[in-house]
Amino acid sequence: MRIGIVCPYSWDVPGGVQFHVRDLAQHLIGRGHEVSVLAPADEDTELPPYVVSAGRAVPVPYNGSVARINFGFLSAARVRRWVHDGDFDVLHIHEPASPSLALLACWAAQGPIVGTFHTSNPRSRGMIAAYPILQSALEKISARIAVSEYARRTLVEHLGGDAVVIPNGVDVGFFERARPRAEWQGGTLGFIGRIDEPRKGLPVLIAALPKILRELPDTRLLVAGRGDEKEAVAGLPKEMRERVEFLGMVTDEAKAELLSSVDVYVAPNTGGESFGIILVEAMSAGAPVLASDLDAFAQVLDGGEAGQLFTSEDADDLAAKAVDLLRDPARRAELRDRARRHVQRFDWSTVGADILSVYETVTQGAASVAEDERAGLWSRLGLARD
């Protein structure tokens, strides 16, 4: 099958949608399919052979974050050329309601289209206001996927229609095989995410750290991600700042090793999350998870059975739960065991098969419609078919 995938966000800036598109493409290629991904990218970005650059992206505030996207006449021309040259059996567009390559691809495409909706935003006035502009594009989508029940709810309430829920995928085996690093072990908390993006919640974790250190002075916090490191710890007493170690951007391999090393992985996000792929990666690597009780996170953690939840944006509750976990190795082992069983539903062997089933459904439907149209044409001409 020839499959075109549209990633709306810049390929060179890490994010959940980009990782999902990358891993999906690699999974499909591994299954023998021919895949091309169209994504924004800077000129000096080293791209895998299956990715086609749609040009440089610009930062735009979106859903409590900053999305790097591109849009406009030049981008539209590149999209039309890619769609025409690709001659795809199916086009898979991620975030088709975003003002980006995704929307341009919806307008340009003619064949079967699958749209995946990632955003969870229950009060998006902008999405409601934009619906008249989006309607003609969204009506061309043959099948809709939402990565969680909360992304599905956003779609239903703001844009109408419905979607099948297929979660983000993770290569569970890749994280299971990671080996801990000695220098990252021993009373460690882990955080991975953009340091200077408030909704990722690092300020909440930093605010909880003094309370954790008063109970367990040897605790360390390991932070991986880009952003202003000095500003991140500015609110900590000077004597505590050395307990925070910034690792900068890390490779996928180092991320897996970090997750396999820490005693507790903390996800203090404050909102705007429709899934929580980092939680699945942490569980796959064997890290006990402590996460804010966002609806999407609670769902990923099986209602708190596969990870510990704390009250979102409550630094005191975060601190208390972190201290309890650090002091209780039996509880951490229990969470690891439950998580190990739970994450299998997110492995690409399952998720990929579900997505391929959607592809096959829309391509078979398109073929059936084409056959009916040909039969109707012969009938209108009053001719019999051989």
Instruction: Give tens-digit pLDDT for 52-110.
Output: 999 887 766 655 566 677 777 788 899 999 999 999 999 999 999 888 888 899 989 98
* Contact indicator for 290, 325 with CB cutoff of 8 Å: yes
Answer yes or no: is pLDDT of 370 > 50: no
Same domain, 151 and 184: no
Beta partners for 143? 114
In the chain, how many domains are there? 2
In a domain, 247, yes or no: yes
Same domain, 147 and 55: yes
Cα separation, 366 vs 149, in Å, equals: 27
What counts of helices (H) and strands (E) characterise the chain? 15, 15
Q: Is 368 helix (H, G, I), strand (E, B) or coil?
A: helix
Same domain, 297 and 368: no
Cα separation, 326 vs 18, in Å, equals: 33
Q: What percent of the chain has pLDDT over 70?
A: 89
pLDDT value at residue 371: 54
In a domain, 150, yes or no: yes
In a domain, 384, yes or no: no
**Phi, psi of 185, rounded to the nearest 5 degrees:** -105, 160
Provide the Cα torsion 145, 150, 153, 158; round to 10°: -90
Closest CA to 226 of 192, 182, 187: 192
In a domain, 146, yes or no: yes
Q: Is 291 helix (H, G, I), strand (E, B) or coil?
A: strand
Same domain, 191 and 124: no
Range of the domain at 86: 2-169+347-379
Cα separation, 115 vs 145, in Å, equals: 6
pLDDT value at residue 124: 53
In a domain, 192, yes or no: yes
In a domain, 125, yes or no: yes
> What's the CATH number where 208 sits?
3.40.50.2000
In a domain, 184, yes or no: yes
In a domain, 96, yes or no: yes
Same domain, 357 and 337: no
Which residues, 6+ apart, have CB-to-CB distance to 170 below 8 Å?
23, 277, 280, 281, 284, 343, 346, 347, 348
Closest CA to 128 of 159, 84, 99, 93: 159
pLDDT digits (tens, 9 = 90+) for 1-17: 999 999 999 998 878 89
Mean of the pLDDT values across residues 261-286? 95
> What pLDDT band is residue 364 in, cutting at 50, 70 and 90?
very high
pLDDT value at residue 130: 58
Same domain, 217 and 322: yes
Q: Is 28 helix (H, G, I), strand (E, B) or coil?
A: helix
pLDDT value at residue 377: 47
pLDDT digits (tens, 9 = 90+) for 14-36: 788 999 999 999 999 999 999 99
Same domain, 223 and 243: yes
